[in-house]
Structure 1
Amino acid sequence: MLHVPNYIQAVWGKFDDFPMETLTKFWIHLQEEDGRQREVTEMREHREQFGITGNCFDLSLWLLDEFKRAGISAYPIGHHLESEHAHIAVIALDSEGKRYFCDLGDQWLRPLPIDAGQENYGGGRLKGYFPAAEIQFEKHGEQLEVQYYRPNGKASRQIFELTPILMRDCLKAAEHSQKTVKPHPLLECRIPYKSGVAHWEFYNWESFLSTEEGLIKEPALKYVDQWVEILHFHTRYNKQFLEVVLKEYEKLA
């Protein structure tokens, strides 16, 4: 496991039980036509009131705010902004200016040190960073390429742009994302599993668990009330919130 300063890890740890989801985005649409990006203060209020979090933009903006409060320099990065494939993450800097990749949107388990000079930089496969997968990373200029190796032998990769995004551009992309609603509900979260952590996903009325032993597809559920119970079990989200949102999603199915 690569070293991460305690002060960076402590901020990250505040989000350990924060799912990434599009339910909250849709809920805002139900209240306000076209939707909008929430302020971090509002996100905190909604978390306290309903237990909810948000999508990758919500989580990244929230994480940036927490780093700022802790006196840690950080900035947003992303790719395919203002498109349906938009994704955003955060780079945090330690006291020496070394960078740590922080991706709550993809439910990473901990920040990833990415600069030369850090222990085992760009070495072999690493465990403990991504649920139910080993990773390997390389930097190509201002791009970070991450390879994911899952227990069933499946390999995939993702490329992240490391160039800082200006905050005005970040907020513009966030607004665009929040106004784009897809008809399929999505929620991902990290849950305890045996002696480790698994990745639980609910997408388009199906759920499955990614574990170190492989992918476990769960039995299909027929009724919204059943989904409310299982989502509440994994997230502790307010049941009334879940019922309202899922019933509206059901109308789009």
Structure 2
Amino acid sequence: MFATKDILSVWRKFDHFPMETLTKAWYFQKNSGKKQREVAQMKEHREQYGITGNCFDLALWLLHEFEKEGIEAYPIGHDMGTEDAHVAVIAKNEEGHRYYCDLGDQWLNPVLVDADSEDYTEERLKGLFPAAEIQVQSAGDLFTVLYHRPNGKTSKQVFNLTPVKMDDFWLAAEICQNAIHKSPLLECRIPYKNETAHWEFYDWQSFLSTTEGLFNDPEAESIEQWCVRIHQKTGYDTNFLYEALNIYKKM
């Protein structure tokens, strides 16, 4: 179920890339033209401020890196053209088997979604998603993901594997980058004991999800305290964080 070495070699480049909307709000204020950044500009911003972006940014960047390595890949998504859009990437190995690659939801590894592959399984698996066991059920171009949490709860998502045309993808990306929600969001993968856990900052609260359960952080009393905390988790430039968080605070 885990991806082949060629796909993983590209995926591993993004291990320390958070998914966040801070960059979206910051760039929205900075730029009067198109809001969806090109990959070259994302790389410049990463070099300057340590920042990444939201699911559209990460999918575009991942597609770019797959193309550089000669790996066939394409975008997929749901609710395209709305504020609720979510996108990911399908990459194919040399045999043509498809792997679901989702940096937006901070997966730990891509997962095989072709039921006709000899490596496919519908058993519960560890090591694919932070603080949860994953179970995949595929049927043609639809596949279902079951997230089994440590507290016994199970959630479900259904994805369509049909490729999204790049023109449609860029259009949906532009719509998404123009929609600034009032609550900032940042998710990242961080080491915790013998696992990779999931840290989330949302609506001025933060918490860590682990296989041992969920741990809430103490409340931060100021923008400055949030800047320090987020910087410690991500390495993001503190001046950038102060500017981006103040944009949300004024909303």
Confirm or deny a common fold (TM above 0.5).
yes
For 1:125, the aligned partner's letter is: R
Taking the aligned partners of 1:14 and 1:70, their CA distance within structure 2 comes to 12
Residue of structure 2 in register with 1:103 after alignment? 102
Taking the aligned partners of 1:111 and 1:55, their CA distance within structure 2 comes to 18
Residue of structure 2 in register with 1:84 after alignment? 83
Taking the aligned partners of 1:222 and 1:16, their CA distance within structure 2 comes to 30
> Is residue 66 of structure 2 the alignment partner of residue 67 of structure 1?
yes
Q: Post-superposition shift, 1:118?
A: 3.3
Taking the aligned partners of 1:120 and 1:92, their CA distance within structure 2 comes to 16
Contact 2:26/2:247 (8 A) holds in 1: no
Taking the aligned partners of 1:129 and 1:231, their CA distance within structure 2 comes to 24
Residue of structure 2 in register with 1:173 after alignment? 172
Taking the aligned partners of 1:64 and 1:6, their CA distance within structure 2 comes to 17
Contact 1:3/1:119 (8 A) holds in 2: no
Please state whether the residue corresponding to 2:106 is helix, strand or coil: coil
Q: Post-superposition shift, 1:123?
A: 1.9
Q: Aligned pair in 2 of structure 1 residues 41, 232: CA closer, same or farther (>3 Å)? A: same
Residue of structure 2 in register with 1:205 after alignment? 204
Q: Give the % identical residues.
A: 55
Taking the aligned partners of 2:28 and 2:84, their CA distance within structure 1 comes to 20
Residue of structure 2 in register with 1:37 after alignment? 36
> Is residue 195 of structure 2 the alignment partner of residue 157 of structure 1?
no
For 1:17, the aligned partner's letter is: H
Contact 1:143/1:159 (8 A) holds in 2: yes
Please state whether the residue corresponding to 2:187 is helix, strand or coil: strand
Residue of structure 2 in register with 1:123 after alignment? 122
Q: Post-superposition shift, 1:208?
A: 0.6
Over residues 152-201 of structure 1, what are the superposed CA-to-partner deviations in whole Å (9 max), with x where a residue is unaligned?
11211111110000000011000110000001000000000001100000
Taking the aligned partners of 1:134 and 1:167, their CA distance within structure 2 comes to 32
For 1:18, the aligned partner's letter is: F
Taking the aligned partners of 2:33 and 2:81, their CA distance within structure 1 comes to 15
Q: Post-superposition shift, 1:116?
A: 2.4
Residue of structure 2 in register with 1:231 after alignment? 230
Q: Post-superposition shift, 1:209?
A: 0.5
**Bigger CA drift: 109-118 or 231-240?**
109-118
Over residues 103-160 of structure 1, what are the superposed CA-to-partner deviations in whole Å (9 max), with x where a residue is unaligned?
0000000110111243552321111000000011111331111010110112111111
Taking the aligned partners of 1:142 and 1:123, their CA distance within structure 2 comes to 16
Q: Post-superposition shift, 1:33?
A: 4.5
Taking the aligned partners of 1:173 and 1:83, their CA distance within structure 2 comes to 7
Contact 1:25/1:35 (8 A) holds in 2: no
Q: Post-superposition shift, 1:248?
A: 1.8
Taking the aligned partners of 1:112 and 1:165, their CA distance within structure 2 comes to 19
Please state whether the residue corresponding to 2:117 is helix, strand or coil: coil
Which contiguous aligned blocks of 4+ residues in structure 1 show a shift greater than 3 angstroms?
117-120
Please state whether the residue corresponding to 1:42 is helix, strand or coil: helix
Contact 2:83/2:175 (8 A) holds in 1: no
TM-score by length of 2: 0.97
Taking the aligned partners of 1:70 and 1:209, their CA distance within structure 2 comes to 34
Q: Post-superposition shift, 1:249?
A: 1.2
Residue of structure 2 in register with 1:17 after alignment? 16
Q: Aligned pair in 2 of structure 1 residues 35, 24: CA closer, same or farther (>3 Å)? A: farther
Taking the aligned partners of 1:203 and 1:34, their CA distance within structure 2 comes to 28
Residue of structure 2 in register with 1:49 after alignment? 48
Q: Aligned pair in 2 of structure 1 residues 102, 52: CA closer, same or farther (>3 Å)? A: same
For 2:154, the aligned partner's letter is: A
Name stretches of at least 5 consecutive residues in structure 2 with no aligned partner. none
Please state whether the residue corresponding to 1:165 is helix, strand or coil: coil
TM-score by length of 1: 0.96
Taking the aligned partners of 1:17 and 1:156, their CA distance within structure 2 comes to 25
Residue of structure 1 in register with 2:143 after alignment? 144
Taking the aligned partners of 2:240 and 2:196, their CA distance within structure 1 comes to 26
